[in-house]
Structure 1
Amino acid sequence: MKQIKKLFTDQVSSVNEYEREPVPESEVKGFKSFVGMVSGEHIAGTEFVIGPLFVLHGASAIDVVFGLLLGNILATLSWVLVCAPAAVKVRTTIFYQLERISGKGIVTLYNSINGLLFCVAAAAMVGVSASAVGIMLNIEGPGMTDLYPTSPVWVGIIFAIGAVIAIVATFGFDKVSKFANIFAPWMPLIFFSAGLAMLPTLGVHSLSDFWTVAQEKIWTGVPAAGQTKYTFWHILIFSWLCNSAMHLGLADMSIYRYAKKSYYGIASAFGMFIGHFMAWIASGILCAVAVQAGNANPSPGHIAFMGAGYAGLICVIIAGWTTANPTIYRSGLAVQGLLPNMKRWKITLWVGLVTTILACSPAIIAKLDQFLGIYALCAAPIGAIVMTDIFVFPKLNLISNLAEETKKFINWSVGLSWAVSILGSFAVYKYFEFDFYFFAAIPGWLIGIFSYIIFAKAQQRNLIIEKQKVEEYEVH
């Protein structure tokens, strides 16, 4: 046992993830690495949760199809035009880059929030995988709207799955990427075939039948009891911004800093249009079948098993793993910023433990859409601030990485901009009486850009004058 422990610690300790320095050119990865990772992450167990949400919230068929189409195009463009270029430009994690800009004080708060939010997101994946294992072992697990665990055995399943995911994440980006590449080609086939196989149950016997059945039995436009109604705008905004913390919020700088070219952000299209388009539609079909059969509160495992048998259950388990792995990896990087002297693999294991404990509450899955919306409101303004500092400040002759340049503990222009952005987006949410936090994410992102420029100009006025004097003196 001691030898195994030593072998494990030696291997994970030898992994260098460049947490506090740019990724060297020798370590950048090819396009294939990102296709596998984003496909594995976004063709996830949560697709068996989100697809059914559109059914239960009474979205219409035309709103689902066109909302998902446009929303996923916007999401892909957000990675291509914002996140990947920023990551390739500086080749650092969002956490270290923010520290250089904002100082230790603000990045400590951000990393704490972000680390916890990543744990919650990963916990949802663990819970989804557990629902499939429970069916395999004939153990009743919670449904998608339950708030409490159903049995100690189910909690034990959660801990077993959490342990596997945490251990994979400790080996760093390379192993997480390879793990995803193994399963990414197989999972979409399960989603597609499961949805296709269930269509005859709803009355689809030819291609011409599909649209009529889709309108009358799947996305009927009538929400289930106790659920709010989703419109075209809900679908578009959700599909664009459910991952806004990753693209506009720049959390995926941690991933794309390894990209050889910035256009590798287009790899996100594989996750968006296979995972967030095809898989959401397929899982919506499965949910409609379950509801028609009298199960008003199906679990992700039940939906998958109904459509594809044990292959569907295995797909749910693996899909949960391939999404939770990079999420825990990101969370470990966030906490690393708080504890720079602690080894990353030890932090990742602790993060895995916190994730596993959170996963024991089914409420993580039941409130997933609300959680993602709150996450977007907190993270998007920081992405706007970092993006502005990287690309806009040099054009405005403002000082980038101010905290690093001046050794500031807190860059107050960052702190004020973040606070104003969150308060501003929340005010927009309240004033327009939105029923969906995501609607306020874009105003928050835009407020972050403009407020940061205004505050930074006020803060740097004297610094820039002094810098110009020094430069003039050196010239003469």
Structure 2
Amino acid sequence: MKRIKTFLQESAGSVNEYERESVPPSKVKGFKSFVGMVSGEHIAGTEFVIGPLFVLHGAAAVDVFWGLLVGNILATLSWVLLCAPAAVKTRTTIFYQLERISGKGVVSIYNSVNGLLFGVTAAAMVGVSASAIGIVLNLKGPGLTDLYPENPLWVAIIFVIGMVIAVVATFGFDRVSKFANIFAPWMPFVFLSAGVAMLPSLGVKNWSDFMAVAQNEIWSGTPVEGQTKYTFWHIMIFAWLCNSAMHMGLADMSIYRYAKKASYGIASAFGMFIGHYMAWVASGILCAVALKNGIDNPSPGQIAYMGAGVAGLLCVVIAGWTTANPTIYRSGLAIQGLMPQVPRWKITLAVGILMTILACFPAIVAKLDQFLGIYALCATPIGAIVFADIFLLPKLGMLSNWAEKKQLKYNPSVWVTWVVAIAGSYLIYYLFSFDFYFFAAIPGWVIGLVVYVLATKAQQRMEAVSSKKLQVNEYN
């Protein structure tokens, strides 16, 4: 253990991730780094969870194809137009930029929420990877709807996978990016080949049969018992906003601050249309085959093995790793903002241990869509605040980075905006009886943008009046 600690101190401890400063020009990365990173992150083991959700929730085939197309275009545009420009302009993490805007008070709460929710997301990836290894060991892992661990050996597998991911993440952006670039190129072929290989078992003899089979056997429009029905709007909103904390919430500033140009945000399209379109469709096909064969609660590992054998299992394991690595990296940066005196690698390792413990509970995978929805509800107003502070306030003649300039621990405008935006978007969600938290992310972002600009204008105007009165009193 002492040797491991010494190794991490000497290796990971020497990595400078510019947590509290702008990334220097000499450290920016080319387009290829981001293609590998986003492809590795969004062609994930959880695609074997999300794709089947559309089948279980009775989405119609036409709704799936069109909903995924529109939603993934909107998600890509959100990275291109919102996240990447903010990241390249400041070259800072969302956590440090928010601290400059809001002061330590708000950012401490935000970083805590982010660190926890990033850990939950990464834990889901670990759980998915473990389900594949369980198949190799002839160990039945939890199904898609199970909530609690039942087998000690499965928990042991979780710990091995979790610690590998945590150690890789401690080495910073370079290692995480290289890890993704090694494994990302071949994973799409496994998803595609597995889905195509299973079509004959559903009755597809040639491509002209596909749409009829898709409508009747895969996405039939009838949910399984106990599940709500998904429509075009559910699919489109899910595809657009399942990663809204990353793009509209600007969490991926931590990644794109290394981009040479803001246009590199288009790299997200590789993850969206390969991972969140093709892979979701392919895994939906595999889920339909599992249901047809009498497996009513399949695990991601079972789905992958059924379609691609050992290659499918390996794909699930690696896909979980390539997604969890950058997620834990972000989580480490979030918590490091709370304790800047503690080395980032130590915090990342600690977060990795927490992630591993959480991954032992299958509920993390079973309720993944709900966790992501709550995350979006909390994060998108903060993204709107940071975006407005960077781009809108200077154009409106107001000062950016108010807390930094005024040496404030709390910026009232940020507090008011965050509370009003979350409360307002949740109220809309409740009043309109939406059955999907993701719907609330859109009004949350809009409310956050508008309220922050108005609150900041009022705050800075009051400050100006107060300063003028003080000058008059001093003169008299």
State the identity %.
Answer: 73
Other-structure match for 1:309: 309
Q: Say whether 1:36 aligns with 2:36.
A: yes
After TM superposition, list the pairs within 5 Å mapping 1:260-279 onto structure 2.
Answer: 260-279=260-279
In the TM superposition, what is the alpha-carbon distance from 1:465 to its structure 2 partner? 5.5
After TM superposition, list the pairs within 5 Å mapping 1:337-376 onto structure 2.
Answer: 337-376=337-376
Q: Say whether 1:221 aligns with 2:221.
A: yes
CA deviation string 1:130-181 (max 9, x = no partner): 0001111111211010011121110000000000000000000000000000
After TM superposition, list the pairs within 5 Å mapping 1:52-131 onto structure 2.
Answer: 52-131=52-131
Assess if the C-alpha contact under 8 Å between 1:125 and 1:324 holds in 2: yes
CA 1:400–1:140 in 2, change beyond 3 Å: closer, same or farther?
A: same
In the TM superposition, what is the alpha-carbon distance from 1:44 to its structure 2 partner? 0.1
Cα distance in 2 for residues equivalent to 1:95 and 1:84: 15
Other-structure match for 2:249: 249
After TM superposition, list the pairs within 5 Å mapping 1:157-168 onto structure 2.
Answer: 157-168=157-168
Secondary structure, counterpart of 2:115 in structure 1: helix
In the TM superposition, what is the alpha-carbon distance from 1:6 to its structure 2 partner? 2.4
Assess if the C-alpha contact under 8 Å between 1:168 and 1:176 holds in 2: yes
Assess if the C-alpha contact under 8 Å between 1:140 and 1:150 holds in 2: no
After TM superposition, list the pairs within 5 Å mapping 1:318-333 onto structure 2.
Answer: 318-333=318-333
Q: Say whether 1:192 aligns with 2:162.
A: no
Cα distance in 1 for residues equivalent to 2:5 and 2:333: 23
Amino acid at match of 2:262: S
Cα distance in 2 for residues equivalent to 1:467 and 1:41: 49
Cα distance in 2 for residues equivalent to 1:349 and 1:374: 25
In the TM superposition, what is the alpha-carbon distance from 1:469 to its structure 2 partner? 11
CA 1:4–1:357 in 2, change beyond 3 Å: closer, same or farther?
A: closer
Amino acid at match of 1:237: I
Cα distance in 2 for residues equivalent to 1:150 and 1:89: 49
Cα distance in 1 for residues equivalent to 2:4 and 2:414: 46
CA 1:13–1:74 in 2, change beyond 3 Å: closer, same or farther?
A: same
Cα distance in 1 for residues equivalent to 2:359 and 2:162: 9
Other-structure match for 2:474: none
In the TM superposition, what is the alpha-carbon distance from 1:259 to its structure 2 partner? 0.2
Cα distance in 2 for residues equivalent to 1:468 and 1:309: 74
CA deviation string 1:83-140 (max 9, x = no partner): 0000000000000000000000000000001100000000000000000011111112
Tell me, which stretches of 5 or more residues in structure 2 are unaligned?
471-476
Other-structure match for 1:443: 443
Cα distance in 2 for residues equivalent to 1:399 and 1:110: 22
Amino acid at match of 1:114: N
CA deviation string 1:342-363 (max 9, x = no partner): 0100000100010001001000
Secondary structure, counterpart of 2:327 in structure 1: helix
CA deviation string 1:302-358 (max 9, x = no partner): 000000001000000000000000000000000001111001000001000100010
Q: Under a length normalisation based on structure 1, what TM-score does the superposition of the two structures give? A: 0.97
Cα distance in 1 for residues equivalent to 2:106 and 2:358: 26
Other-structure match for 1:399: 399
Other-structure match for 2:410: 410
CA deviation string 1:363-399 (max 9, x = no partner): 0011111111111000000000000000000011111
Other-structure match for 1:473: none
In the TM superposition, what is the alpha-carbon distance from 1:2 to its structure 2 partner? 4.8
Cα distance in 1 for residues equivalent to 2:422 and 2:14: 40
Secondary structure, counterpart of 2:246 in structure 1: coil
In the TM superposition, what is the alpha-carbon distance from 1:25 to its structure 2 partner? 0.4
Assess if the C-alpha contact under 8 Å between 1:45 and 1:320 holds in 2: yes
Assess if the C-alpha contact under 8 Å between 1:398 and 1:464 holds in 2: no
In the TM superposition, what is the alpha-carbon distance from 1:440 to its structure 2 partner? 1.3
Cα distance in 1 for residues equivalent to 2:465 and 2:277: 52
Cα distance in 1 for residues equivalent to 2:412 and 2:358: 33
Secondary structure, counterpart of 2:337 in structure 1: helix
Amino acid at match of 1:208: S
Cα distance in 2 for residues equivalent to 1:364 and 1:66: 29
In the TM superposition, what is the alpha-carbon distance from 1:3 to its structure 2 partner? 4.8
Secondary structure, counterpart of 1:243 in structure 2: coil
Cα distance in 2 for residues equivalent to 1:334 and 1:5: 22
Other-structure match for 2:137: 137
Other-structure match for 1:286: 286
In the TM superposition, what is the alpha-carbon distance from 1:256 to its structure 2 partner? 0.1
Other-structure match for 2:149: 149
Assess if the C-alpha contact under 8 Å between 1:249 and 1:383 holds in 2: yes
Assess if the C-alpha contact under 8 Å between 1:57 and 1:229 holds in 2: yes
Amino acid at match of 2:121: A
Q: Which moved more, 1:406-415 or 1:454-463?
A: 454-463
Secondary structure, counterpart of 1:185 in structure 2: helix
CA deviation string 1:406-435 (max 9, x = no partner): 000000100100000000000000110100
CA deviation string 1:32-70 (max 9, x = no partner): 000000000000000000000000000000000000000
Amino acid at match of 1:148: Y
Cα distance in 2 for residues equivalent to 1:82 and 1:181: 25
Cα distance in 1 for residues equivalent to 2:469 and 2:78: 40
Secondary structure, counterpart of 1:165 in structure 2: helix
Amino acid at match of 1:307: G
In the TM superposition, what is the alpha-carbon distance from 1:466 to its structure 2 partner? 7.4
CA deviation string 1:427-457 (max 9, x = no partner): 0001101000111110010000000011111
Amino acid at match of 1:169: A
Cα distance in 2 for residues equivalent to 1:196 and 1:383: 39
CA 1:194–1:468 in 2, change beyond 3 Å: closer, same or farther?
A: farther
Cα distance in 1 for residues equivalent to 2:213 and 2:388: 47
Amino acid at match of 1:388: A
Cα distance in 1 for residues equivalent to 2:80 and 2:341: 34
Assess if the C-alpha contact under 8 Å between 1:170 and 1:345 holds in 2: yes
Assess if the C-alpha contact under 8 Å between 1:170 and 1:329 holds in 2: yes
After TM superposition, list the pairs within 5 Å mapping 1:368-387 onto structure 2.
Answer: 368-387=368-387
Tell me, which stretches of 5 or more residues in structure 1 are unaligned?
471-476
Other-structure match for 1:474: none
After TM superposition, which residue ranges in structure 1, 4 or more long, deviate above 2 angstroms? Answer: 1-8, 462-470
